[in-house]
Amino acid sequence: SNPVDDYTCIEVMSAKELMKVIANIPHPYRAVFNLNAILGYTHKEIGIMLNISTNTSKSRLSRARNIIQRKYFNLYSIADTSTTCELASA
């Protein structure tokens, strides 16, 4: 079966693979991803820390997730990129 059907991207990717993907995300997106998805800060808190708007924080998190999803599909050679992959709740 397609691994996306059974697991989230993070569950399927090893920690090492995930850290490598995150490390290669452009800094503005990586910073927001780390602060929100890993450290649990809200978009409002991130906005204050990074001197950006709440909407910019949300946009950067979305772009970071899209980058991770594309890397995931490339890593596992999944042709159907219409399948979504939940990484973390916003």
pLDDT at position 54: 98
Assigned domain for 70 exists: yes
At how many degrees (to 10) do helices 54-75 and 43-50 cross? 100
- Please count the CA atoms within 13 angstroms of the CA of 63 that sit on its side-chain side: 14
Q: Tens digit of pLDDT for each residue in 27-41?
A: 999 999 999 999 999
| Token pair of 43 as six digits | 């978009």
DSSP state of 71: H
Assigned domain for 10 exists: yes
We report the CATH number of the domain holding residue 19 as: 1.10.10.10
Domain count, the chain: 1
pLDDT at position 52: 98
pLDDT at position 4: 45
- Closest CA relative to residue 90, chosen from 35, 26, 17, 31: 35
Q: Tens digit of pLDDT for each residue in 65-89?
A: 999 888 877 776 654 445 555 554 4
CA dist., res. 81 & res. 84, Å (int): 7
Assigned domain for 85 exists: no
Domain enclosing residue 43, as ranges: 3-75
